Amino acid sequence: VSDQRGEMRTGLWRRGFSSADQCAGAVSYEQVKKLLVARAGVVIDVREPWELREYGRIPGSINVPLGQVNEALRLKPDEFKEKYGGEMPSSGERLVFTCLAGVRSQKALEAAQTLGYPNAQHYPGGWQDWAKHEILQ
């Protein structure tokens, strides 16, 4: 069935998506860089350890593989530090997840929000975007 404009009616609302819609809670390279320089939050890289060794890592980030995020954010701060080598973010602290290209960091963001981290965000550009900026500078 078509409407007056000749478009198919599906019973679903049509909606245009902008990058802001797709990346709610997203941060840019510049925002991550400022956060790290100012030490204004925690950056967690959710890639597997071998990926960091092979491709590189964002300096100052903590590696917590995606499959461990739920457990890690429930640890006591001293347990987190011992296991992951960095300070555990408090629930009110700014927390940014990153990965290779934004897919896993989005999943980590959703998990953190469910666990009560309202200031959690993710870096959709991930390592690929970071490396592009850092290599060009």
pLDDT, one tens digit per residue, over 51-107 is: 999 999 999 999 999 999 999 999 999 999 999 999 999 989 999 999 999 999 999
Give the pLDDT score at 19. Answer: 36
Q: Count the alpha carbons within 13 Å of 127 in the hemisphere toward its beta carbon.
A: 20
Q: What is the pTM of this model?
A: 0.81
3.40.250.10, 3.40.190.10, 3.40.630.30, 2.160.10.10: which CATH number matches 26-136? 3.40.250.10
Domain boundaries, the chain: 26-136
- Spot the catalytic one: 23, 42, 66, 99: 99
Burial state string for 110-119 with b = 16 or more CB within 10 A and e = fewer than 16: ebbeeeebeb
Give the pLDDT confidence of 10-24 residue by residue, as tens digits.
Answer: 333 333 333 333 445
Q: Which two tokens stand for residue 135?
A: 């290599």
48: confidence class by pLDDT, cuts 50, 70, 90: very high
CA angle 112, 114, 118 (to 5 degrees): 65
Q: Is-catalytic flag, 99?
A: yes
